[in-house]
């Protein structure tokens, strides 16, 4: 079952519980069904070399948080979205370095 979920194969994971008449199994299948759009194919991302960890994202959020709190800095809330879009474009290689 773990291998199926790692690959985003919800149907394969659910099939493994077909003969398990238990309330917990029913709740688990209901959870998978409800959240199927959020369950990703981790094996694909791993094969493509795309990080599936949250450490880099959490670090970036902390870094942005520190920059926002710089003493004497004034941030216009209307400009934050544009700055974040530009930062994402830069990190994704859309701008020349």
Please state, rounded to an integer, the average pLDDT across all residues of the chain.
Answer: 84
* Segment 43-78, tens digit of pLDDT: 898 888 887 777 877 888 788 778 777 777 777 778
Domain boundaries, the chain: 2-47, 55-91
Average pLDDT over residues 66-93: 80
pLDDT value at position 93? Answer: 79
Q: List the one residue out of 48, 54, 53, 44 whose CA is nearest residue 9.
A: 44
Q: How confident is the model at residue 19 (pLDDT cuts 50, 70, 90)?
A: confident
Does residue 97 surpass a pLDDT of 60? no
Distance CA 3, CA 8 (A): 9
Q: Are 71 and 42 in contact (CB under 8 A)?
A: no
- DSSP-derived secondary structure for 44-68: HHHHTT----SHHHHHHHHHHHHHH
């Amino acid at each position: 079952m773990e291998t199926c979920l790692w690959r985003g194969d919800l149907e394969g994971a659910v099939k493994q519980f077909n003969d398990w008449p238990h309330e917990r199994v029913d709740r688990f299948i209901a959870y998978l069904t409800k959240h199927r759009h959020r369950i990703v194919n981790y094996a694909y991302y791993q094969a493509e070399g795309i990080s599936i960890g949250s450490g880099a994202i959490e670090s970036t959020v902390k870094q942005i948080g520190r920059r926002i709190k710089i003493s004497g800095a004034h941030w216009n809330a209307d400009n934050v979205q544009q700055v974040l879009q530009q930062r994402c474009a830069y990190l994704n290689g859309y701008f020349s370095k």
